[in-house]
Amino acid sequence: MTRPVLAAVDASVRSRAAAHWAAQEAGRREAPLRLLHARPFLGRKANDLVALDDLEAGARSMLDEVARELAAAYPGLAVEHELVPDAAIDGLVETAGQGQLLVIGTRGLGGFHGLLVGSVSLGVAGRATTPVVLVREGRPEPESHEPEVTVGFDALEPADAVLEFAFEAAQLRGARVRVVHGWELPPVYGYAGWVPVETERTELGSLAETMVAEAVAPWREKYPRTLVLEDVRTGGGAAALVEASATSDLVVVGRRTRPLPLGTRLGGVTHAVIHHAQSPVAVVPHA
């Protein structure tokens, strides 16, 4: 049985935007859509202070309403829903493994004008073992452009899971893939004020381009009909990914699953892209 595409929903406008994005993605993947609503009170016993039956009825009514809206908007799509009796982050992280990916809505102004990504979005993206897609509310449709999926790539530590997700997403959309690799000058140039000559910059840049080309070659072969653009530049990858997000249908970044002293968390580039990208952002966990 095909695993569903999951979407976290509540009564907010941003969650409706995410639910519609998830419905479209489920259609592309020929998968059912499952709506999730996580609330901790659903797992508690009734008491004199809270009418839990009324709260649960309200949650179910909201889910029914969103399910009807999506079923009407996307005929033929199988839509189901589920109440998750746990706090939002814990409940969604645990439930995410049931699906191919989890879609969650988030606020945001785009560009570098504001940091408005919610704590739930960040918490889920930083812990889920399934890819998490964060969808901003109110993003205007890009002007006429060729469909494109942008993926952040580290040539020094390539992650197959991230590239596979990006190429698969592009194939589903009939889109090209832009592989972005940002490289920095070796730290030695920062010591004692050393300034590299132009030939050194050129050599380092050529080395980075060669590394990217070699790492991407197997994916070109696996997806021969997908146009691939290799975007190698100095200055780090975050700014390049944010810039590309203005005309991308999706930006794909990775998150390592190895345990850290303070728990699993997002890397610097992924964190910056989540906050500032204008397009939906897929965070793909990898070893």
Residue 94 is predicted with a pLDDT of: 95
pLDDT band at 116 (very low <50, low <70, confident <90, very high): very low
Q: What is the pTM of this model?
A: 0.89
Please choose, from the candidates 59, 54, 51, 50, the residue with its C-alpha nearest in 3D space to the C-alpha of residue 82. Answer: 59
Please write the tens of the pLDDT for every residue from 244-273: 999 999 999 999 987 655 555 688 899 999
Quick check: 278 and 241 in contact, CB under 8 A? no
Statement: residue 51 has pLDDT above 70: no
Looking at residue 42, what is its pLDDT? 54
Least confident of 77-91, 182-196, 215-229, 257-271: 182-196
Instruction: For the chain, list the domains and their CATH numbers.
Output: 1-139 (3.40.50.620), 143-287 (3.40.50.12370)
Helix (H) or strand (E) holding 135: strand 132-136
pLDDT computed for residue 127 by the predictor? 93
In whole numbers, what is the pLDDT of the chain averaged over residues?
86
pLDDT given at position 11: 81
Query: What pLDDT was estimated at residue 189?
Result: 54
Count of CB atoms situated within 10 Å of the CB of 204: 17
Say whether pLDDT at 159 is over 90: yes
pLDDT at 193: 55
Please give the average per-residue pLDDT across 69-74, as a whole number. 97
- Residue 50: pLDDT over 80: no
What pLDDT shows up at residue 124? Answer: 94
Q: Give me the mean pLDDT over the 95-121 stretch.
A: 74
Q: Give the pLDDT score at 13.
A: 86
